[in-house]
């Protein structure tokens, strides 16, 4: 059985994955991350189906969600999660390039927990990702049913 990961990172672009992991490395959180490359894969992981039938029961402490992705986009993942009894309490943070007001408004309407616009400057990006990781994976007490931190 695959080890449980505490952070679900849903990003389609592999360079974004690499940069995000590079940032989380600085907090030693990189190996707590499982990556889904689009919304459909993310939902498969959360529902333990498709390629993800073999991981143990347990919800991530946070889902880091990109907005624009092929197949099922970030807003759709959020909508499905908020409509699902087991998933609706899982914290979701949008990490996106979009400053568009419509995306911001829709995300909050669907119940996002935080909305972060990725800075172009890498230093600032690293800072943002570190703060997000630090807060949601270390400071914040996740809802019951979430994967426990290995001590």
Min CB(67)–other proteins separation in Å = 7
Kindly state the number of chain residues that form the binding site for other proteins, as judged by CB under 8 A: 20
Q: Residues near 66 by Cβ (< 8 Å), separated by ≥ 6?
A: 10, 11, 12, 13, 16, 74, 94, 95, 96
Q: Does 118 bind other proteins (CB under 8 A)?
A: yes
- Rounded CA-CA distance 131/73 in Å is 24
Min CB(13)–other proteins separation in Å = 6
Q: Does 96 bind other proteins (CB under 8 A)?
A: yes
Whether 4 contacts 55, CB under 8 Å: yes
Q: Which residues pair with 65 in a beta bridge?
A: 10, 94
Q: Does 122 bind other proteins (CB under 8 A)?
A: yes
Whether 59 contacts 87, CB under 8 Å: yes
Residues 49-68 interacting with other proteins (rule: CB under 8 A): 67-68
Min CB(68)–other proteins separation in Å = 5
Name the segment binding other proteins (CB under 8 A); options: 49-57, 77-85, 118-126, 141-149. Answer: 118-126
What SS3 state is found at 9? strand
Whether 67 contacts 74, CB under 8 Å: yes
Q: Does 19 bind other proteins (CB under 8 A)?
A: yes
Q: What residue ranges bind other proteins (CB under 8 A)?
A: 13, 15-16, 19, 22, 67-68, 96-100, 118-123, 125-126
């Amino acid at each position: 059985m695959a080890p449980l990961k505490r952070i679900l990172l849903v990003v389609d672009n592999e360079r974004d994955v690499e940069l995000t992991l590079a940032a989380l490395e600085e907090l030693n959180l990189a190996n707590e991350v499982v990556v889904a490359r689009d919304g459909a894969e993310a939902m498969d992981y959360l529902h333990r189906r498709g390629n993800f039938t073999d991981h143990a029961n347990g919800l991530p402490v946070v889902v880091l969600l990109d907005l624009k992705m092929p197949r099922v986009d970030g807003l759709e993942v959020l909508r499905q999660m908020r409509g699902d009894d087991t998933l609706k309490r899982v914290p979701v943070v949008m990490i996106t390039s979009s400053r568009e007001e419509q995306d911001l408004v829709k995300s909050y309407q669907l119940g996002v927990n935080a909305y972060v616009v990725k800075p172009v400057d890498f230093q600032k990006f690293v800072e943002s990702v570190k703060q997000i990781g630090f807060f949601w994976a270390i400071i914040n007490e996740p809802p019951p049913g979430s994967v426990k931190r290995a001590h």
